[in-house]
Amino acid sequence: MGLVTILKKSKRKEKELRILLLGLDAAGKTTVAKQLLQQDVTDVGPTFGFDIHTVEYRDFKIHIWDIGGQESLRSYWKNYFESTDGIIWVVDIADRDRLSDCVTQLHKTLQDERLVGAPLLVLANKLDRNPGVDREKLVKTFELETLCDRPWNIYLCSALYDSQVIVQGLSWLLEDIAEKNFLYA
């Protein structure tokens, strides 16, 4: 029995997960993380580098890697891909000028072999600034239906004002991960 097998069995027993929190800068990634941690979201600044947040939810201990989304940092994202159980991609749906850049960056990121099969939760954030957005249109814009190698889901939210949708999205992500990786959910 190799070391990797032992580590995987240990991880399954402890129900510890590694979730990447990605997206362009100013999308609301840190606000999402703070909502999950039930922290104050009124004073959130940009993330330079990364922050690791740990939250216990259900029977899981979740390590959320909140990685800065500035263009100068994106080439370093790949350094964090190893052992990823799931991905939360946050998009600012009010920033129409950078939406195509966001789509391109998402698909480029998902091409990395270390992320193959990792379920994807897209949080379409800042719904309060763009209340007329259509979920199905976003699915088409992000070409999510072409992602055959992984489960995905998209939730419309406003991270500043509504943590409930974020928690629902996290629940979906955890259920998918648990179904594939754990003997018990």
- List residues with catalytic annotation: 70
Tell me: is residue 51 an annotated ligand-binding position. Answer: no
Q: What is the SS3 assignment for 28?
A: coil
Tell me: is residue 66 an annotated ligand-binding position. Answer: no
Tell me: is residue 26 an annotated ligand-binding position. Answer: yes
Burial class (CB in 10 A: 0-12, 13-18, 19+), 147: middle
For residues 60-93, b (16+ Cβ closer than 10 Å) or e, as one string?
Answer: bebbbbbbbbeeeebeebeebbeebbbbbbbbbb
Tell me: is residue 125 an annotated ligand-binding position. Answer: yes
Tell me: is residue 128 an annotated ligand-binding position. Answer: yes
Task: Provide the residue type at 125 as one letter.
Answer: N
Tell me: is residue 5 an annotated ligand-binding position. Answer: no
Tell me: is residue 99 an annotated ligand-binding position. Answer: no
* Token pair of 43 as six digits: 């004073």
| Binding-site residues from annotation | 23-30, 47, 69, 125-128
Binding residues for GTP: 23-30, 69, 125-128
> Residues marked as binding for Mg(2+)?
30, 47
